[in-house]
């Protein structure tokens, strides 16, 4: 079994609606996203999946968020743009692109101390 890891970042603001504390106020983060992809076979070059391809697909998703107020994104009209929900959104958008390999998890770090992981 082989796994690759790709990390990218984006900067955005959000406010957690209904949160009983400071995070209810609009505030920003330098988010880091880490994705892990798993597969059993390598191609003829000895590559599971090209890092450049994964980076491009991930950047396509993250560009929707970069330097925005995440609350304004359609995906977060009904749910809070929490780290957990952002990680799930990224997972659901990226998983079809990496097939036939398996997207194992998306980890979203909002600070050096706090992260959320989504796995299916």
Which positions are annotated as active-site residues?
Answer: 23, 67, 109
Q: 56-73 burial, b for 16+ CB within 10 Å, e for fewer?
A: ebbeebbebbeebebbeb
Q: Which residues are bridge partners to 29 per DSSP?
A: 12
Cβ atoms of residues 57 and 97 within 8 Å: yes
CB atoms within 10 A of CB 32: 16
């Amino acid at each position: 079994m082989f796994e690759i890891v790709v990390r990218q970042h984006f900067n955005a603001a959000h406010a957690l609606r209904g949160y009983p504390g400071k995070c209810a106020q609009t505030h920003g983060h330098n988010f880091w996203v880490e994705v892990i992809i798993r597969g059993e076979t390598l191609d003829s070059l000895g590559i599971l999946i090209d890092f450049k391809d994964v980076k491009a697909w991930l950047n396509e998703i993250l560009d929707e968020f970069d330097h925005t107020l995440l609350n304004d994104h359609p995906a977060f009209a009904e749910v809070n743009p929490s780290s957990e929900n952002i990680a799930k959104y990224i997972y659901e958008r990226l998983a079809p692109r990496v097939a036939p390999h398996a997207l194992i998890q998306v980890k979203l770090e909002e600070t050096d101390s706090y992260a959320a992981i989504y796995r299916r």
